[in-house]
Amino acid sequence: TAAGAVSADSVDSLADGFPLCMQHLHAQLAADRHLRHGGRMQLGLFLKGLGLDMQEALAYWRRAFGAMTDDQFAKGYAYNIRHNYGAEGRRADYAPYSCHRIITTNPPGPGDHHGCPFRHFAPERLRAALHRDRLPDADVREIAALAAAGHYQVACTRHLEARLLRRPGDAQPAAVTSPNQFFDLCSGAAPA
Ligand code: SF4
């Protein structure tokens, strides 16, 4: 997606198309008005991939971290956001994380919200998250069983299918390999 395609104001309206990992981060950010580093990286680079440019990202995160002063935000967080866009440090243009990376590296600890719910949530919590996404019981059972058997991306692909089945005429989606690809498939855009 082109940089600038998404504004700070429009992020919330896109959340219905987010995969479970990003829905969770987005909801926790709204609930806590904060996310720890791993969550900021995972969600921040995903939003960058959606087309949120650096200025809009700074506006989005500043607003999301409501209680903080401008000075605290500038000192503690703005640098990292600019860094993700290649405007600081090594000036590398960082890419959104793949599912493989999210599933296999840097597992979440207590208080963290990054990671893959299919890999890192306890079964009951995963089922509750799927129910919140308005999936029928049969789909929730099947997807939770795939996750319990270690088929995390297959479970996520089934989640995508269950969402798309709400829209008659949608074709069978490709296997999910990244949160950005999930979003593109869910929103009907060309696969990433
Ligand atoms: Fe996110 Fe990938 Fe896990 Fe799906 S499989 S929830 S897109 S990390």
Distance in Å, CA 68 to ligand 1 centroid: 30
Identify the pLDDT of residue 192: 43
Q: Tokens 């082109």 appear where?
A: 2
pLDDT at site 172: 65
Q: What is the pLDDT of residue 189?
A: 57
CB 50 within 8 Å of CB 5: yes
Q: Confirm or reject: Cβ of 61 under 6 Å from ligand 1.
A: no
What is the pLDDT, as a whole number, of residue 82? 94
| pLDDT in single tens digits along all 192 residues of the chain | 677 789 999 999 999 999 999 999 999 999 999 999 999 999 999 999 999 999 999 999 999 998 889 999 999 899 999 999 988 877 778 999 999 999 999 999 999 999 999 999 999 999 999 999 999 999 999 999 999 999 999 999 999 999 887 555 556 667 899 999 999 998 875 444
Nearest Cα residue to 112 out of 121, 101, 99: 121
Distance of CA 69 from the midpoint of ligand 1 (Å): 33
Q: What Cα–Cα distance (Å) separates residue 44 from each residue in 95, 128, 129, 162?
A: 10, 25, 21, 26
> Does the beta carbon of 155 lie inside 6 Å of ligand 1?
no
- Start-to-end CA distance of the chain, whole Å, equals 8
**pLDDT for the residue 4:** 75
Please indicate whether residue 102, judged by its CB atom, sits closer than 6 Å to ligand 1.
yes
pLDDT at 165: 73
Q: Is 116 touching ligand 1 by the criterion CB < 6 Å?
A: yes
User: What are the distances in angstroms from CA 182 to CA 10, 41, 67, 111, 167?
Assistant: 18, 18, 32, 26, 16
Interface pTM, i.e. ipTM: 0.99
Question: Computed from CA positions of residues 28, 102, 127, 154, in that sequence, does the dihedral angle turn out positive or negative?
Answer: positive
- Test site for ligand 1: of 126, 159, 182, most ligand atoms within 8 A of the Cβ: 182
The whole-model pTM stands at 0.92
- Report the candidate in 19, 37, 5 with the shortest Cα–Cα distance to residue 177: 19
